[in-house]
Amino acid sequence: MYSMEKIAAEIKESARDLISGKRVDLVIGYEKGSLALRSRPCFVSSVEDAGKLVWNSLCTNNLSVYLPRYVQKGPQKRKEDVKPVRVGIVAKGCDVRSIVGLVKEKQISRENVVIIRVPCRGVIDRAKVETQLKGNEVNEYKEDSSEILHLTTVAGEEKTFSKEQFLADACLECELAEPEDVDIRISGTAKQTFPNRYERVREFEAKSREERWQHFKKEISKCIRCNACRQACPNCFCKSCFAEQGKPRWVGAGTDLSNTMFYHIGRIFHQAGRCVECDACVRACPMGIDLRLFTQKMVKDVAEAFGYIAGLSAEEKPPLCEFGDADGQGLITTL
Amino acid sequence: MDSTEKGSGDKEPRVVAIVCSWCSSISAELAGSGRNQYPANVRVVRVPCAGRVDALYIVKALQNGADGVLVFGCNPGDCHYLSGNLLARRRFALIKNLLEYIGVEPERVQFSWISGSEGSRFAALVEKVVEDVKKLGPAKKLVKADV
Amino acid sequence: MEQGIIKKADAGELIAVLGGKYIVYGPVKDDEGVSLSKVGDGEDITFEYSNFNLSPKGLFFPQSEVIYTYDDSVEAKESLPEERFIVFGIRPCDASALLRLDEVYKKSSPEDPYYIRRRENAVIISMACKKPCQTCFCTSVGEGPAAKAGADVIAFDLDDSLFLEACTKKGEQLLDIWSKLLQEPDSAVLESKQRQAASANGKVYALNSEGITQKLQKKFESPIWKEISQRCLSCGACTFICPTCHCFGINDEPCGSKNRRVRCWDACMFKEFGGEASGHNPRGMIDQRLRQRIMHKFLYTAENFGDVFCVGCGRCINRCPVNIDIREIITEGTQ
Amino acid sequence: MNSGDPVNPYLPRPVTIKKTAIENEAGDIKTFDLVFCNREDEEKFKFQCGQFAMLSMPGAGESPIGIASSPLDEGLVQFTVKRYPTGAVTSALHSLEEGSRIGLRGPFGNSYPMKEMEGKNVIIVGGGFAFTTLRSTILYMLHKKNRSKYNDITVIYGARSPGELIYKSELAKWEKQSGIEMVITVDRGDETWKGREGFVPTVVKDVSPSPEDAFVLVCGPPIMLKFTMLPLLELGFSPDRIITSLERRMSCGIGKCGRCNVGNKYVCKDGPVFSFKQIQELPEGIF
């Protein structure tokens, strides 16, 4: 039994308590989206508005991306934008890890954030539903307590599927290790760890060099440089991204594929020790680029080579600010 | 022709050697003054410390037509900033693996320690990388298209 | 020739008879679904698609193009596009979007030589919609699933045959080339075409956009911008996939001793879009940028060109990572 | 492109840097004297006071810069450019030596209402290095061909410090000239500074130019513009006689790239010169 309604009710309750008790000025959660298969970020600052909050398998966004906006004071801030500083945030396991990452990198202060942890059993990848339904759009979505989805198409047909079938790749490989440091725990059981971690990365590593290059090239060729991957990522908090620097100009403006590749290599590299595999980038990409295949390589290397998993502890030093005696075995060119 | 697969033709390979301003640049100078022959097609770029070398420097060199990149750092324990070389090592391990993962030949990106007294070793290492890169032929991946 | 009909199975003949004089872009199946691609030899166009992920604007206003090359002598060598091409199967909304781009690039002095060339060298064959998507709202912005605006020829998919109707002189000339392959349609065909158009029209989501332009004039200081922009990630997905968004940047890309001056899509949603070297940024806040995007589409262009720069294709609704729904903004805007 | 009009508005024309002159103490403001490499380009380049052009730096890009010389100066065009540490184009330009080639595209935009101002008093209010197009205007009005067309000319010009005043030799020359009243101020003076101290808006109040039969041209950083409008309005200048020039980031200069719009106006095409009345009607103002 995993009752979405019960969880939603608890989220609402917590939000109301936090706001009415003046513990926070704002709660960031999810509300019903404008399309059947969408939920979306929702910003609640009054007890009445807390009623809008929902919880379901469509609550995909990693909301921690918004946190730095509320706790940072940039030079561009207008007076009236010095916003409520204390924020309650609805967070899934991976989102909690992102928050820890933000605290670690001093982008937010922990005491200003109230983490409302929801037990997550994975979110749905919209694209998988769309592929399954072959162009029949969904008009209505319902999910019952045994994790069966009831989808009604625009044509009025009702179809049932197991949720498992549409789980996002990130959820299928979810590590579930997560920090203990949360403020409110919504009751319910999160799903179990899946065993096939890094399977796709290993498969890809085993391919020939040419096959890997061709695949990388094919994926990157789809990119339209809209920066959605970067903007959706809580780790991409830099005030000025290398991609936009004009002096020196790291990334050429033209869509010469080498420029786009450079951007992506830079982005992937900067995820080292940061990426929590929430897949915010993957979901945000309007072109359906398989970004996960590449960022996950970074996660795997950092874990295997340096024994580091991002977002578990705000105190642990980031892996690239440290070194070990056994680093880079076989890396050094000798005569 | 695909822009990212254009190479620099059948010219001699171009190798960028990034040296720190301590041990490795001293060894580079020694190599020169000690008349240790090393290939002329190496462009030496000096940075304060191997720890200053961002992964992006390497990728940028490849994009701008380098057939190989060789980064030198001081031997462990010799870094003038204590641990710049060791911090760099982690970074290099990751970027090298990533580049290999996406299909770039690993020999194109190399990393080595050197001390300030090893002029001939500097020349020999450069020679080795140039040879490695020669075997691979001109770099075709990640290279920016010509005008 | 003004109109004609051909069996769908024989549609390949239409391309063959062109004898390579035109490059043909049409709906082609690939791994990702159906995209508007170059139709090569032996490749079949498909009729099973709703709309393309990317709008066809890139064929006329490429994501990035080298407008000229030059060296230190600053003797610029322009590179004007030469190829003649046919765009087959774009939806009426996207065809009509080209008329919007014409306003900026062709009708406003001075003309844009690159855009103009491509427009003059192209013949547009649009494909009337049979089954509008959930996110389509073309009828609310003055377009329709069988509207002819912007098309040289409009095609109707009538089960096993294709009905072609010239809308411009250019279109008639193309049908002349095809006259041997086309049959005269009988009254039953004409009737079923009419029926299809009417039925599709009725299926399009209708919203109240009445007086949006006038009403937006009073909405500049409205709180809705801040409210909606709370969610906005400030990525450029909406603008890059939009068929009418046309902002660009001009940048230099050094390459050896020469420079390429490239023109690339840019987006008002990017923070750096309006940032000056002095540090001054007139639209440094997300709400200012979101407002700019909406105002530019529905107010400024209407004032300058007499047309709103939205054709109701719904791409931005589908692709926004945080489900910002332009229909809701229009509705809010008309309150 | 129409066959009758072979001009591609995106193509720069080659020009040579004939002379450079450092204008300020910090050394980050330089004036460049440019001469066209091709005669026909020079003939086509006819501009008016207040217009701008795009300077092209091979490899770095383009920047819109106001024209600082007078339209009546033949044979050269001058631009005064401030170098910003993050600005690729201005940095590259500053590093060039005399004799180097760059590109020039334009002129673009509208101009100050030189015709309408004829027979009127003209008050010029400038701040910092935004004085460039105003200098062009002063030179134009002071030209012997034109001087009689304009009545009294008052110039109020301020900079952060004495070292940051630009066009110093000209300022000195104008101070000695009759028919032009010069009021020069600095935010903060130094030991050698004997002139006026104070911000431009305050000085405007002090000087209290008469709005009778007058136009006022104001150029400066946004903050100065904002605070100068109020005293001008209080003095009785009507908003359509207060003329200013806006600055926005631009890519094309011809109303296409969508970067510089303020409301439904493009600064590059409908501006950069706007009257305060027009600005009041725009949704997003300068301030």
- Mean pLDDT (chain B) is 88
CATH code of residue D172: 3.40.50.80
Whether C73 is in a domain gets the answer: no
Tell me which residues of chain B, numbers 59 to 78, contact chain C at a CB-CB cutoff of 8 Å.
none
What is the arrangement of strands in the sheet containing C85-90, beginning at the earlier edge strand?
A: C3-7, C161-166, C153-158, C122-127, C85-90, C23-30, C33-38
Q: Which of B89, B97, B111 sits opposite A301 (nearest CB)?
A: B97
Q: What is the nearest CA distance from C166 to chain A, expressed in angstroms?
A: 30
Is C15 a residue whose pLDDT tops 50? yes
Q: Which residues of C touch B9 (CB under 8 A)?
A: none
pLDDT of residue D205: 93
pLDDT of residue B6: 44
**D285 interfaces chain C, CB cutoff of 8 Å:** no
pLDDT of residue D5: 46
Q: Which residues of B touch C252 (CB under 8 A)?
A: none
Domain that holds residue A180: 1-123+171-197
Of C203, C233, C265, the one marking the end of a domain is C203
Tell me which residues of chain D, numbers 4 to 63, contact chain C at a CB-CB cutoff of 8 Å.
7-15, 37, 56-63
D182-207 per-position pLDDT tens digit: 999 999 988 889 889 999 999 999 99
- Residue labelled with tokens 């046309």: C246
Is B117 a residue whose pLDDT tops 80? yes
Does the N-terminal peptide bond of residue A248 adopt cis geometry, omega within 30 degrees of 0? yes
The verdict on a CB contact (< 8 Å) between B56 and A269 is yes
A237 and A312 fall within a common domain:
yes
Whether D69 is in a domain gets the answer: yes
C140 and C219 fall within a common domain:
no
A8 and A75 fall within a common domain:
yes
pLDDT of residue A40: 96
- Residue labelled with tokens 């089960």: C159
A209 and A62 fall within a common domain:
no
Is D134 a residue whose pLDDT tops 90? yes
pLDDT of residue A215: 97
D245-256 per-position pLDDT tens digit: 998 889 999 999
Q: Are C163 and C116 in contact (CB under 8 A)?
A: no
Mean pLDDT of C189-211: 90
Q: What is the nearest CA distance from A323 to chain C, expressed in angstroms?
A: 35
Distance of alpha carbon D186 from alpha carbon D168, whole angstroms: 13
C186 and C91 fall within a common domain:
yes
Per residue, what are the HEC states of chain A? CCCHHHHHHHHHHHHHHHHHCCCCCEEEEEEECCCCCCEEEEEECCCHHHHHCCCCCCCCCCHHHHHHHHHCCCCCCCHHHCCCCCEEEEECHHHHHHHHHHHHCCCCCHHHEEEEECCCCCCECHHHHHHHHCCCCEEEEEECCCCEEEEEECCCCEEEEEHHHHECHHHHCCCCCCCCCCCEECCCCCCCCCCCCCHHHHHHHHCCHHHHHHHHHHHHHCCCCCCHHHHHCCCCCCCCCCCCCCCCCCCCCCCCHHHHHHHHHHHHHCCCCCCCCCCHHHHHCCCCCCCHHHHHHHHHHHHHHHCCCCCCCCCCCCHHHCCCCCCCCCCECCC
- How confident is residue C242, by pLDDT bands cut at 50, 70 and 90? very high
A207 and A273 fall within a common domain:
yes
Provide the ipTM.
0.92
**A99 interfaces chain C, CB cutoff of 8 Å:** no
Is A78 a residue whose pLDDT tops 80? no
Number of CB pairs < 8 Å for B and C? 10
- Overall number of domains in chain D: 2
Of D49, D73, D107, the one marking the end of a domain is D107
Whether C67 is in a domain gets the answer: no
D92-103 per-position pLDDT tens digit: 999 999 999 999
Q: Report the neighbours of A using a cutoff of 3 or more CB pairs below 8 angstroms.
A: B, C, D
Distance of alpha carbon B27 from alpha carbon B114, whole angstroms: 8
3 state DSSP class of D248: coil
Tell me the C-alpha to C-alpha distance, in Å, between residue C273 and each of C67, C285, D56, D258, D272: 20, 12, 19, 10, 19
- How confident is residue B1, by pLDDT bands cut at 50, 70 and 90? very low
- How confident is residue D6, by pLDDT bands cut at 50, 70 and 90? low
Ramachandran bin of A40, using left for φ above 0, alpha for ψ from -120 to 50, beta for the remaining angles: beta
Of A197, A213, A242, the one marking the end of a domain is A197
Is B35 a residue whose pLDDT tops 80? no
Is B132 a residue whose pLDDT tops 70? yes
**B2 interfaces chain A, CB cutoff of 8 Å:** yes
- How confident is residue D4, by pLDDT bands cut at 50, 70 and 90? very low
The verdict on a CB contact (< 8 Å) between A249 and D86 is no
C-interface mutation test, from A227, A258, A278, most C Cβ less than 10 A away: A227
The verdict on a CB contact (< 8 Å) between C111 and D2 is yes
Q: Which of A162-171, A245-254, A309-318 is least confident?
A: A245-254
pLDDT of residue A72: 57
Phi, psi for C161 (deg, rounded to 5):
-130, 170
Q: Report the neighbours of B using a cutoff of 3 or more CB pairs below 8 angstroms.
A: A, C
Whether C89 is in a domain gets the answer: yes
Domain that holds residue C149: 3-61+78-203
The verdict on a CB contact (< 8 Å) between A284 and C284 is no
A42 and A177 fall within a common domain:
yes
User: How does DSSP classify residue C297?
Assistant: I
D91 and D126 fall within a common domain:
no
Q: Which residues of C touch D258 (CB under 8 A)?
A: 246-248, 266, 268, 296
Q: Report the neighbours of D using a cutoff of 3 or more CB pairs below 8 angstroms.
A: A, C
The verdict on a CB contact (< 8 Å) between A246 and D85 is no
Of C203, C235, C258, the one marking the end of a domain is C203
| Token pair recorded at residue A107 | 């982008």
Pairing of strands B68-74, B15-20: parallel
C225 and C118 fall within a common domain:
no
- How confident is residue D126, by pLDDT bands cut at 50, 70 and 90? very high
pLDDT of residue A79: 58
D-interface mutation test, from A76, A247, A249, most D Cβ less than 10 A away: A247
- Overall number of domains in chain C: 2
**C247 interfaces chain A, CB cutoff of 8 Å:** no
The verdict on a CB contact (< 8 Å) between A261 and B60 is no
| Token pair recorded at residue B102 | 């996406």
D91 and D197 fall within a common domain:
no
Q: What is the nearest CA distance from B83 to chain A, expressed in angstroms?
A: 8
User: How does DSSP classify residue C45?
Assistant: P
Whether D8 is in a domain gets the answer: no
The verdict on a CB contact (< 8 Å) between A254 and C233 is no
Is D80 a residue whose pLDDT tops 80? yes
**A231 interfaces chain C, CB cutoff of 8 Å:** yes
**B144 interfaces chain C, CB cutoff of 8 Å:** yes
The verdict on a CB contact (< 8 Å) between A249 and D88 is yes
- How confident is residue A75, by pLDDT bands cut at 50, 70 and 90? low
Q: Which residues of D touch A (CB under 8 A)?
A: 85-88, 91
Is A15 a residue whose pLDDT tops 60? yes
Q: What is the nearest CA distance from C91 to chain D, expressed in angstroms?
A: 25
A219-272 per-position pLDDT tens digit: 999 999 999 999 999 999 998 899 988 778 899 888 789 999 999 999 999 999
CATH code for the domain defined by B15-134: 3.40.50.960
A231 and A313 fall within a common domain:
yes
**D239 interfaces chain C, CB cutoff of 8 Å:** no
D98 and D130 fall within a common domain:
no
- Overall number of domains in chain A: 2
Whether A47 is in a domain gets the answer: yes
User: End-to-end alpha-carbon separation of chain B, Å?
Assistant: 13
Domain that holds residue D237: 121-245
* % pLDDT > 90, chain C: 72
Whether D260 is in a domain gets the answer: no
Whether D263 is in a domain gets the answer: no
The verdict on a CB contact (< 8 Å) between A294 and B102 is yes
Q: What is the nearest CA distance from A123 to chain B, expressed in angstroms?
A: 28
pLDDT of residue A331: 87
Whether A166 is in a domain gets the answer: no
Is B57 a residue whose pLDDT tops 50? yes
Q: What is the nearest CA distance from A1 to chain C, expressed in angstroms?
A: 29
The verdict on a CB contact (< 8 Å) between B145 and C255 is yes
A44 and A26 fall within a common domain:
yes
Q: What is the nearest CA distance from B31 to chain A, expressed in angstroms?
A: 16
- The CA-based angle A98-A100-A106, given to 5 degrees, is 105
Q: What is the nearest CA distance from C162 to chain D, expressed in angstroms?
A: 35
Q: What is the nearest CA distance from D56 to chain C, expressed in angstroms?
A: 9
pTM as predicted: 0.93
Q: Do chains D and B touch (3 or more CB pairs under 8 A)?
A: no
A90-136 per-position pLDDT tens digit: 999 999 999 999 999 989 988 899 999 999 999 999 999 998 998 78
Of D79, D107, D135, the one marking the end of a domain is D107
Is D85 a residue whose pLDDT tops 60? yes
A180 and A283 fall within a common domain:
no
A209 and A242 fall within a common domain:
yes
Whether C110 is in a domain gets the answer: yes
C274-326 per-position pLDDT tens digit: 888 888 888 989 999 999 999 999 999 999 999 999 999 999 999 999 999 99
- How confident is residue D3, by pLDDT bands cut at 50, 70 and 90? very low
More confident residue, B146 or A230: A230
| Token pair recorded at residue A321 | 């600010």
pLDDT of residue B147: 45
CATH code of residue D85: 2.40.30.10
Name the residue in chain B with its Cα closest to that of C257.
B147
The verdict on a CB contact (< 8 Å) between C300 and D263 is yes
pLDDT of residue D215: 96
Q: Which residues of B touch C69 (CB under 8 A)?
A: 147
A20-32 per-position pLDDT tens digit: 999 999 999 999 9
A258 and A184 fall within a common domain:
no
Mean pLDDT of A154-173: 91
A46 and A193 fall within a common domain:
yes
C25 and C168 fall within a common domain:
yes
Whether D116 is in a domain gets the answer: no
A-interface mutation test, from B2, B78, B100, B102, most A Cβ less than 10 A away: B102
pLDDT of residue D32: 96
- Mean pLDDT (chain C) is 91
The verdict on a CB contact (< 8 Å) between A286 and C135 is no
The verdict on a CB contact (< 8 Å) between B63 and A319 is no
**C104 interfaces chain A, CB cutoff of 8 Å:** no
A7 and A119 fall within a common domain:
yes
User: How does DSSP classify residue D195?
Assistant: S
- Mean pLDDT (chain D) is 91
Whether C247 is in a domain gets the answer: yes
Q: Which of B13-22, C39-48, D167-176, D181-190 is least confident?
A: C39-48
Whether D155 is in a domain gets the answer: yes
Q: Which residues of A touch C235 (CB under 8 A)?
A: 226-228, 230-232, 284
Q: Which residues of B touch C260 (CB under 8 A)?
A: 147
- How confident is residue B38, by pLDDT bands cut at 50, 70 and 90? confident
